[in-house]
Amino acid sequence: MSSTQFLVVGAGLAGASAAWRLAARGFSVTLVERDVPASEHGSSHGSARIFRFPYPRRQYVDLVKASVPGWEELSRLHGSDLITRCGALDFGATRDPHGLAAVLTEAGVDHELVPQAEARERWPHVLADTDVLFHAAGGVLDAESTVNTMVAAAEANGAEVLTGWPLDRLERDGHGFTAHSADGRTVRAERVVVSAGGFLPALLGNLSLPDAFLRAFPPLQVREENAFHFPHRDPGADWPTLIHKRADISVYSLPGGRDAQFRGQKVAEYDAGRAIPSAAARSGVVDPANRARVVEYVKTYLPGLEPEPYAETTCLFTNTPTEDFVVDGVDGVTVVSPCSGHGAKFAPLLGELAADAALGTGTVPDRFRVGSARV
């Protein structure tokens, strides 16, 4: 049986980051992944996630800022930028561009508030229904390349990576844990970091966690989301990312990169997919009613796209009720869940937070602690 100081479970953005940061701090690390890094069955696959600064809560803006040096380091390791800075738009009455702009001003993030009429001239392929918040530092991050870069960095720092290794349960003894795979293999570990994404709800009860921790754990809602790729009418047009929220619909959209064969825009309704008990219940079947809603949305608000998707997929969102992350642990097991469809932009920071939580170094925001008052 192999033995390690830290076992990290799951090689999505969170687990890859945790393995990298722990290995870089000099710990022996084994990273186990049920499938492959950036698995298509998880949430960190593919080429496109929005990188942006605006959040209604200043704390998250500061966390995006804190992740920037990590992105620079990862891009250097990767050999090219992992973030394409195409700029980002936020608009719609319930997105509150003016409120978001005020938070960015406070946080010292460059941005512009563009009046609606001017926004329609500047981005004619988008029909803004309010004033628009634009920030040039927003863009698209390549999730899969980020995971692979962090896994390679973990390995370069001595970590062992075991793919096709599904953790079934942790067994606690006096000095640590024996991790059992579903097919009977074992690894001994002094401490464990679990970052299993949408698989976490089904795994949480098998981690030898105390009842009080489990009772305080915020409920996790897993949804099978739908996403669609629409062709650009003008293949030469520059597209930013966008988040558009109205009382009747919340949509995000971004250049799809490799996932869209570089010829289209990914468009999805936010947090509108089918609720499922855990990732294993994912069907992979796109919801036709959701497709119809998104096509209608494109017809109405995105005149620069052909309103006929040429590709579509489902993916997993894992939500706490307040959309806050969970980064907390007890007695040697730390759980990291950058859930809620917005964790990718913090990727290099998630490993630092996981390592700090696991080592008790105390820089993890209280908000991410199990049992904190999340309002």
Ligand X SMILES: Cc1cc2nc3c(=O)[nH]c(=O)nc-3n(C[C@H](O)[C@H](O)[C@H](O)COP(=O)(O)OP(=O)(O)OC[C@H]3O[C@@H](n4cnc5c(N)ncnc54)[C@H](O)[C@@H]3O)c2cc1C
Q: Which residues bind ligand X (CB under 6 A)?
A: 9-15, 32-35, 39, 41-44, 49-50, 143, 166-167, 195-199, 203, 225, 227, 315-317, 337-339, 341-345
| Whole-number Cα distances in Å, 12 to 33, 149, 320, 364 | 9, 12, 18, 20
Report the distance separating Cα 98 and Cα 101, nearest Å.
5
Residue number, 145 or 195, with CB nearest to ligand X = 195
Report the distance separating Cα 51 and Cα 218, nearest Å.
26
Residue number, 120 or 168, with CB nearest to ligand X = 168
Shortest CB 157 distance to ligand X, Å: 19
In 171-259, alpha helices (H): 200-203, 211-216
Quote the strand ranges of 34-159, DSSP E.
49-51, 83-84, 88-91, 112-114, 132-135, 139-141
Residue number, 43 or 157, with CB nearest to ligand X = 43
Shortest CB 123 distance to ligand X, Å: 19
| Whole-number Cα distances in Å, 74 to 141, 244, 348, 368 | 12, 30, 8, 24
Shortest CB 359 distance to ligand X, Å: 20
Shortest CB 286 distance to ligand X, Å: 12
Shortest CB 274 distance to ligand X, Å: 14
Residue number, 309 or 338, with CB nearest to ligand X = 338
Residue 155 makes CB contacts below 8 A (sequence gap 6+) with 23, 161
Q: What number of other Cβ atoms are within 10 A of residue 186's Cβ?
A: 14
Report the distance separating Cα 341 and Cα 84, nearest Å.
19
Report the distance separating Cα 140 and Cα 82, nearest Å.
8
Residue number, 157 or 195, with CB nearest to ligand X = 195
Shortest CB 241 distance to ligand X, Å: 8
Report the DSSP beta bridge partners of residue 352: none
231, 274 in Cβ contact below 8 A?
no
Residue number, 120 or 281, with CB nearest to ligand X = 281
Shortest CB 56 distance to ligand X, Å: 15
239 by DSSP, 3-state: which? coil
Residue number, 236 or 259, with CB nearest to ligand X = 259
Residue number, 42 or 332, with CB nearest to ligand X = 42
Residue 347 makes CB contacts below 8 A (sequence gap 6+) with 13, 14, 16, 17, 67, 70, 71, 74, 141, 143, 146, 150
Whose tokens are 């004033």? That residue is 131
Shortest CB 140 distance to ligand X, Å: 8
